[in-house]
Amino acid sequence: MKLAVHAPGRLVVRTTPVADPGDLLARLPHPTALAWVREGDGLVGWGEAARLELPGGHDRFAAADAWLREMFGSAEVDDPLGRPGTGPVAFGSFGFDPKSADSVLIVPRFVLGRRDGRAWVTTIGDPADGAPAGAPFGGLVPPVAPAP
């Protein structure tokens, strides 16, 4: 299986709690953003920290799983919340017929999430980026909330 991989050697992941951002979908900065939202909770992401394109085939799910385990296993992660959806995440689209077109996994550069009344922003990228957590969000999210 030939994979198309676009990724840094090592990811740096920073999750920061924020005040409730309101409607997650309304916070998306552009139409190519990614979203997984149900009943107001979920994740929205944009940009690309890493991308894996997989051709059709019977082993595409195993190849995607191995790539994510390696990518996330070697990442430097600062995630004080430790909740599902915080830390490193990926959005995927898979063809379910082995003969179907390519499948793709995208690790977004920026993530805004909410679950069970807690909200956060996550930045994911190459250690050479040097961008502080939350810096690119500008007015998209409220200021960092005090720890409960």
pLDDT tens figures, 115-128: 998 999 999 987 66
Domain boundaries, the chain: 4-129
Return the structure tokens found at 123.
């930045």
Q: What's CA 143's distance to the chain center, in Å? A: 21
The answer on pLDDT for 1 being more than 80 is no
Q: Which one-letter DSSP state was computed for residue 122?
A: E
CB 7 within 8 A of CB 126: no
Closest CA to 126 of 76, 87, 70, 92: 76
The region of weakest confidence among 88-92, 104-108, 143-147 is 143-147
Q: Which one-letter DSSP state was computed for residue 48?
A: -
CB 110 within 8 A of CB 136: yes
pLDDT tens figures, 2-53: 555 566 678 899 999 988 888 888 887 777 789 999 999 999 999 889 999 8
Instruction: Give CA–CA dist 138/20, Å, rounded.
Output: 15
CB 130 within 8 A of CB 76: no
What percentage of the chain reaches a pLDDT higher than 70? Answer: 80
Whole-prediction pTM value? 0.82
For residues 20, 82, 75 and 19, what is the CA-based torsion angle, rounded to 10 degrees? Answer: 10
pLDDT of residue 2: 54
pLDDT of residue 114: 94
